[in-house]
Amino acid sequence: MSEHDERQPPRGPSTTAVHGGEPSVRSDRSLTTPIVHASAYPFEHTQELVEYMEGRRERPAEYGRYGNPTVERAEAKLAALEGAESALLMSSGMAAITTTLLAMLRSGQHLVLTRDVYRKTRVFARQVLARYGVEVDIVEPRADAVVAAMRDETRVVLTEAPTNPYLRVLDLGAVAREARARRIKTIIDATFATPVNMRPLEHGVDLVIHSATKYLGGHNDLLAGVVAGGAGLVGAIREFLGMTGAVLDPTNAYLLLRGLKTLALRVRQQNDSALRLAHVLADDPAVARVWYPLHPSHPDVDVARRYLSGGGGVVSFELHGGLAAGTRLVDALRIPKLAPSLGGVESLVEQPALMSFFELTPAEREAIGIAEGLVRLSVGIEDTDDLEADLRQALARLRA
């Protein structure tokens, strides 16, 4: 019996992560999904071809750009985790963003973004979509600001929850209700939340996107992106992907499947560690401000408590002393690696002013809300006591 059989009772995130989208027994009797390396899939005879083309026969797609058995299994598991009718994997998180927006927008239409969506998403909207006649408004990550930006030409609203790097959480339900009344599609990049901490589709959002490179893969060893939602909308994006070709290869799909099985365990550990570190940071005199969605000091904490079952593994904080203080702290840490990205088993740390926004002047960074003393800590699955001890010693060295 399939894991999608309607007779199955609801299951928790760990059970779904392990068994969701999987057959009870595979035809080849393997316990794990095999890697299928194939660029084409032959038909047994012409009648099978005709039945397949007419939609009367299910089988692997005829060509690798249109589907792969390993990738399809990973898509089924992701759909189960999100509670979605369908999911579509692509070669990276940015491929998922750009392909989805290109498939949904055309000249003369209007896109609303929130201010601290991923920087490359903003660049793509301003530089590429604008070149093709799509108008773009970028607003504060608040429901009232998003709704105020909607107009007759608006076709898509795209935000993140939580956002990067300040982990803002807007009222998804309020935005989705207003957008649906105006026949506007809503897209949430929920990379930081994961399906364990939040399921946006349950709040009326049309599509949810993840950089699967991060928490879903979880081991800093693959690139992938996914969009999940209704079968019709995802199917239209799938057809567009068949032309653009940003498909996921089967080896990365296999690594993603393996990583997904421990997703809930990893995220729960990261939630617990990050929340404790947020409290440590908030109590330290060297820290000017902490940004963590479930910390009482966060401006969106009440909204976050409604939508998030866990705060996630990222803690951002601002230090007194600006850029130099951030550098001293980062260099004093012993466990986190100085690297971009987030969501893996290893803790990572970075100063956004020196990594994501290095090419901007301090005044330009201030204008877009990036503080010089900002540090972003992506908490891994190391023992919480060890992470706390390391952070405390680095803060003590900074104060000294």
Nearest by Cα to 316 from 367, 351, 271, 354 = 351
pLDDT band, very low/low/confident/very high, at 4 (cuts 50, 70, 90): very low
SS (H, E, C) 172-204: HHHHHHHHHHCCCEEEEECCCCHHHHCCHHHHC
CATH assignment of the domain containing 323: 3.90.1150.10
217 part of a folded domain: yes
Convert the pLDDT of each residue in 237-259 to its tens digit.
Answer: 999 999 999 999 999 999 999 99
Together in a domain, 208 and 321: no
Rounded Cα distance between 216 and 223, Å, is: 10
Q: Which two tokens stand for residue 225?
A: 């992106």
E strands within 285-399? 287-291, 314-319, 337-338, 348-350, 374-378
Check pLDDT > 80 for residue 27: no
Question: Terminus-to-terminus CA distance in the chain, angstroms?
Answer: 63
- Verify that 379 and 280 share a domain, yes or no: yes
pLDDT for the residue numbered 22: 83
Global pTM value? 0.92
Residue 245 lies in a domain: yes
1 pLDDT band, cuts 50/70/90, is: very low
C-beta neighbour count of 351 within 10 angstroms: 23
Question: 248 and 272 share a domain?
Answer: no
Q: Which of 323, 315, 258, 312 is nearest to 282 (CA)?
A: 315
CA–CA dist 41, 320 (Å, integer) = 60
Q: Tell whether 207 and 63 lie within a shared domain.
A: yes
The total number of structural domains in the chain stands at 2
Q: Map residue 317 onto helix, strand or coil.
A: strand
Looking at the fold, whether 249 and 327 belong to one and the same domain comes out as no
Query: Any bridge partners for residue 350, and if so which?
Result: 376
Q: Last residue of some domain: 260, 293, 321?
A: 260
On whether both 245 and 275 belong to a single domain, the answer is no
- The alpha carbon of 18 is separated from its chain's Cα centroid by a whole number of angstroms, namely 20
In terms of domains, do 232 and 277 share one?
no
Among 215, 234, 260, which residue terminates a domain?
A: 260
CB atoms under 10 Å from CB of 59, counted, come to: 13
My answer on whether 291 and 252 are in the same domain is no
Are 84 and 169 members of one domain?
Answer: yes
Helix 384-399 to helix 263-282 angle, to the nearest 10 degrees? Answer: 30
Measure the CA angle with vertex 332, ends 331 and 334; round to 5°.
100
Which of 199, 140, 154 lies closest to 173, judged by CA? Answer: 199
Residues 102 and 149 placed together within one structural domain of the fold: yes
Reply yes or no on whether the pLDDT at 8 is more than 70: no
Q: Classify residue 133: in a domain, yes or no.
A: yes
CA distance 150 to 83: 28
Task: Please tell me the predicted confidence (pLDDT) of residue 358.
Answer: 62
Q: Note whether 156 and 101 are within 8 A (CB).
A: yes
If residue 31 lies in a helix (H) or strand (E), which one and from where to where?
none
- Say whether 281 sits in a helix, a strand or coil: helix
369 located within any domain: yes
Q: Are residues 17 and 127 in the same domain?
A: yes
Distance CA 199, CA 183 (A): 21
pLDDT at 90 over 90: yes
* Residues 43, 184 within the same domain: yes
Domain end, chosen from 260, 275, 290, is at 260
Please check the confidence at residue 357 and state whether its pLDDT lies above 80.
Answer: no
pLDDT single digits (tens) 168-198? 999 999 999 999 999 999 999 999 999 999 9
Residue 286: which domain range?
Answer: 263-399
Question: How crowded is residue 107: how many other Cβ atoms within 10 Å of its Cβ?
Answer: 10
Residues annotated as catalytic (active site), given as ranges = 65, 118, 189, 214
Q: Establish if 3 belongs to a structural domain.
A: no
Alpha helices per DSSP H over 83-117: 93-104
d(CA 172, CA 175): 5
The answer to whether residue 1 is domain-embedded is: no
Alpha-carbon gap, residue 93 to 76, rounded angstroms: 18
CATH number of 59's domain: 3.40.640.10
Q: What angle do CA 310, 210, 126 make, to 5 degrees?
A: 120
Helix (H, G, I), strand (E, B) or coil at 160: strand
The answer to whether residue 6 sits within a structural domain is: no
Residue 119 covered by a domain: yes
- Mean pLDDT is lowest, of 55-64, 265-274, 331-340, for 55-64
